[in-house]
């Protein structure tokens, strides 16, 4: 049987919400892929979002090793933390209104997301701005210290996500 | 802060917008405060490093080293 790659669910921001959440994730696939195309309604130079799963709060559940480079090559950054309630996603692009080319593009691979043990995932990101700095290109590992299967995913910030921002998850079934 | 979240149930496709719970708001505020604290600590550390560098360079100059000599031994 050929491997399958199916869209499980998608949520689109309307510009009035600080969080987007997908619940009731199908548990019959082998792996998940989460695709984020987001921006934040703000005038600042970059925003931080937080990704959480299963409605779990607390800093002990999430840890991360991240590295990224400023889009104009001016600096690099790396961190190893477990002090936030959620996986920290930095440098989300900001805009005061919708611009389709201003997007924080991220792909998160959640391998064996139904396993009832601690899990580790991969993230690739390019939080792109067409002009200037305050973008980031990078990758990292996301550690999940809980033991539940992943059944819901939520992206949050302290400002509204821009209209048209999306979070979509795909289920991958091995052949 | 206050806020709303859009929730889509993948099993039904139903989309709802609901207010954030007090716990969700508290977590977001705690994250933001932690991030600001870390930013200020990093800024202070960078300022101290710059001040130490300037002070060290001046002490080397006081010993009679030229700028080129200082670069040669510190880079």
DSSP string, A99-139: -TT-EEEEEEEEETTT-SS-EEEEEEEEEE-SSSS--EEEE
Q: Which domain holds residue B20?
A: 4-74
Q: Mean pLDDT over residues A37-41, rounded?
A: 91
- Phi/psi for A41 (5° steps) reads -80, 100
pLDDT on residue A11: 97
| Residue A99: pLDDT band with limits 50, 70, 90 | low
Most distant CA pair in chain A: distance in Å? 50
Tokens of A71: 């889009």
Among partner residues A20, A24, A84, which is closest to B6 by beta-carbon distance?
A: A20
Q: Say if CB A14 and CB A38 are below 8 A apart.
A: no
- In eight-state DSSP terms, residue A162 is P
The region of weakest confidence among A94-103, A143-152, B62-71 is A94-103
Residue A133 pLDDT greater than 70, yes or no: no
Residues forming a β-bridge with A166: A12, A37
Q: Tens of pLDDT along A40-93?
A: 988 877 788 999 999 998 888 999 998 888 777 766 777 777 788 899 988 888
* Domain boundaries defined on chain A: 4-173
Per cent of chain A over pLDDT 70 is 93
Return phi, psi of residue A138, to 5°.
-170, -170
Tell me how close the Cα of B62 comes to any Cα of chain A, in angstroms: 33
Q: Across residues B13-37, what is the average pLDDT?
A: 91
Question: What's the mean pLDDT when you consider all of chain A?
Answer: 89
Asked if residues A153 and A51 have their Cβ atoms less than 8 Å apart, the reply is: yes
Q: Which of A13, A21, A56 to mutate to test the interface with B (most CBs of B within 10 A)?
A: A21
Q: What is the pLDDT of residue A22?
A: 98
Per-residue pLDDT tens digits for A105-115: 999 999 999 99
Three-class DSSP category at B25:
helix
Question: What pLDDT is stored for residue A100 in this prediction?
Answer: 60
pLDDT given for residue A59 in this prediction: 86
Inspect the interface and report whether the beta carbons of A85 and B27 lie closer than 8 Å. Answer: yes
B4 vs A: CB within 8 A: yes
**Fold of the domain built from segment(s) A4-173:** Jelly Rolls (2.60.120)
Considering only residues A42 and A29, tell me which one the structure prediction assigns the higher pLDDT. A29
Number of structural domains found in chain B = 1
Overall average pLDDT of the B36-42 stretch: 86
- Residue A124 φ/ψ, nearest 5 degrees: -125, 140
Query: Model's pTM, two decimal places?
Result: 0.86
pLDDT over 70 at A132, yes or no:
no
> How high does pLDDT run on average in chain B?
91
pLDDT of the residue at A114: 97
CB contacts of A20 in chain B (<8 Å) are 5-6
Q: How many residues does chain A have?
A: 175
- CA separation, residue A133 to residues A67, A73, A122, B69 (Å): 17, 9, 25, 35
The torsion region of residue A134 among left (phi > 0), alpha (psi -120 to 50) and beta comes to left
ipTM here:
0.89
Check: CB of residue A92 under 8 Å from CB of residue A102.
Answer: no
Task: Please list every residue in chain B whose beta carbon sits closer than 8 Å to the beta carbon of residue A13.
Answer: 6
Mutation choice for B interface testing from A6, A7, A12, A23 by most B CBs within 10 A: A23
Evaluate if residue A120 carries a pLDDT over 80. yes
Bridge partner residues of A52 (DSSP)? A154
pLDDT digits (tens, 9 = 90+) for B45-58: 999 999 999 999 99
> What residues in A contact B28, CB-CB < 8 Å?
18, 50, 156-158
Percentage with pLDDT > 90 across chain B: 65
Closest chain A residue by Cα to residue B23: A57
Question: Between B32 and B75, where is the model more confident?
Answer: B32
B7 neighbourhood in chain A, CB within 8 Å: 11, 21-23
């Amino acid at each position: 049987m050929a491997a399958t790659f199916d869209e499980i669910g998608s949520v689109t921001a309307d510009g009035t919400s600080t969080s987007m959440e997908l619940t009731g994730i199908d548990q019959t696939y082998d792996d998940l892929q989460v695709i984020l195309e987001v921006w934040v309604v703000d005038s600042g130079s970059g925003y931080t979002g937080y990704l959480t799963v299963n409605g779990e709060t607390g800093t002990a559940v999430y840890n991360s090793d991240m590295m990224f480079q400023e889009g104009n090559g001016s600096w690099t950054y790396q961190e190893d933390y477990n002090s936030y309630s959620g996986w920290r996603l930095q440098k989300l692009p900001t805009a005061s209104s919708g611009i389709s080319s201003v997007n924080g593009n991220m792909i998160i691979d959640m391998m064996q997301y139904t396993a009832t043990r601690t899990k580790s995932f991969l993230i690739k990101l390019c939080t792109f701005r067409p002009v200037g700095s305050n973008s980031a290109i990078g990758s990292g590992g996301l550690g999940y210290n809980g033991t539940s299967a992943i059944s819901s995913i939520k992206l949050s910030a302290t400002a509204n996500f821009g209209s048209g921002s999306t979070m979509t998850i795909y289920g991958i079934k091995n052949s | 802060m206050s806020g709303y979240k859009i929730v889509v149930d993948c099993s039904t496709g139903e989309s709802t917008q609901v207010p954030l719970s007090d716990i969700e708001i508290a977590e977001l505020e705690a994250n933001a405060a932690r991030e600001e604290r870390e930013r200020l600590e990093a800024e202070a550390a960078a300022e101290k490093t710059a001040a130490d560098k300037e002070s060290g360079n001046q002490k080397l100059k006081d010993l009679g080293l030229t700028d080129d000599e200082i670069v040669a031994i510190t880079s």
